[in-house]
Every structure is written in structure tokens, then in C-alpha cells.
Amino acid sequence: MEFKTEEDLNTLDDLIDLFNEIPGFKDCNYDDAVNWLTTDANDLRYQILNRDEIISSLQNEESDDSSSDEIIHTPKGPTTTEAFSAFETGLEWFEKQAECCPTQLLLLKRLRDLAAEKRVVAHRQIKIDNLVKQI
């Protein structure tokens, strides 16, 4: 990246003045600014785009968003049944430990109960009226 025109040099001077106003960058000079801008220009993640390229990029993002709405995402991780089973196993193990504390045991039971509630809700049959509203 080279700064040949007077407009480029004025812009660079404005940037240097701006840098100098930032705490910790008071000693920023011409070479520092050119080095920084050149590094960013060569880094493909920080491309310098003109107005048309920016508009095109944003329109592509919008079309990607609309197509992703059609895809149903399934949550990753354990199911509620698996979580409930894991808490049950954890409770059995923790109760047999010497470090078993009533407060921590109560917390584990609350988490197990939460998993149980979510498991029941997931298995509850949906009324046809509610299903039609969701679609």
C-alpha cells in the first residue's frame, strides 16, 4: 500500500493525529501508521472493500440467512433423558462419597428434577390445534 496522492497523505496525517489522541499511542509516527495499514491491507481477513463490494457482501449474507431459516437445527449435546440418567447416576455415586454434603446433594437433586421436568414436557403429546399454530 503506497500513499502517493496528496489526499492519501492528508488521510494518513489525520490517522496519525487520531492515533496520537489514543492513550498509549502518543509516539505513533508516519512509519508506524504505514506499517499498520500495510499489514492490514495484506491480511485477507481485513480486506479493503469499496461501496459496491460491501453492498454485495451484505446482500449475500441476507440470502444466506434466509436459506438457513429453512433448515431445522437440532440442539447438540445430551437429550433430556440422557441428562436425567446422568444425574441419577451422579447422585448415587455422590451419596456414597465421604465428601457428600447435604447442600451439594440438594443442588444435584434440583438439577435432576429439572431434567425430569424437561423430559416430561418433551414427551407430552401436543394437541392438534397447537401443532397447526406452530406450522
Query: pTM for the complete prediction?
Result: 0.38
Banded pLDDT at 91 (limits 50, 70, 90): very high
Burial per residue of 9-25, b for 16 or more beta-carbon CB atoms within 10 angstroms, e otherwise: eeeeeebbeebeeeeee
Give the tens place of pLDDT for each residue, 28-77.
888 888 887 777 666 665 566 678 877 887 888 766 655 554 555 566 88
Cell of 93: 455415586
Q: Residue 7: is its pLDDT beyond 80? A: no
Match 451439594 to its residue by C-alpha cell: 104
Q: Are 112 and 89 in contact (CB under 8 A)?
A: no
Q: For the chain, how are helix, strand and coil distributed in percent, rounded to 5?
A: 70, 0, 30
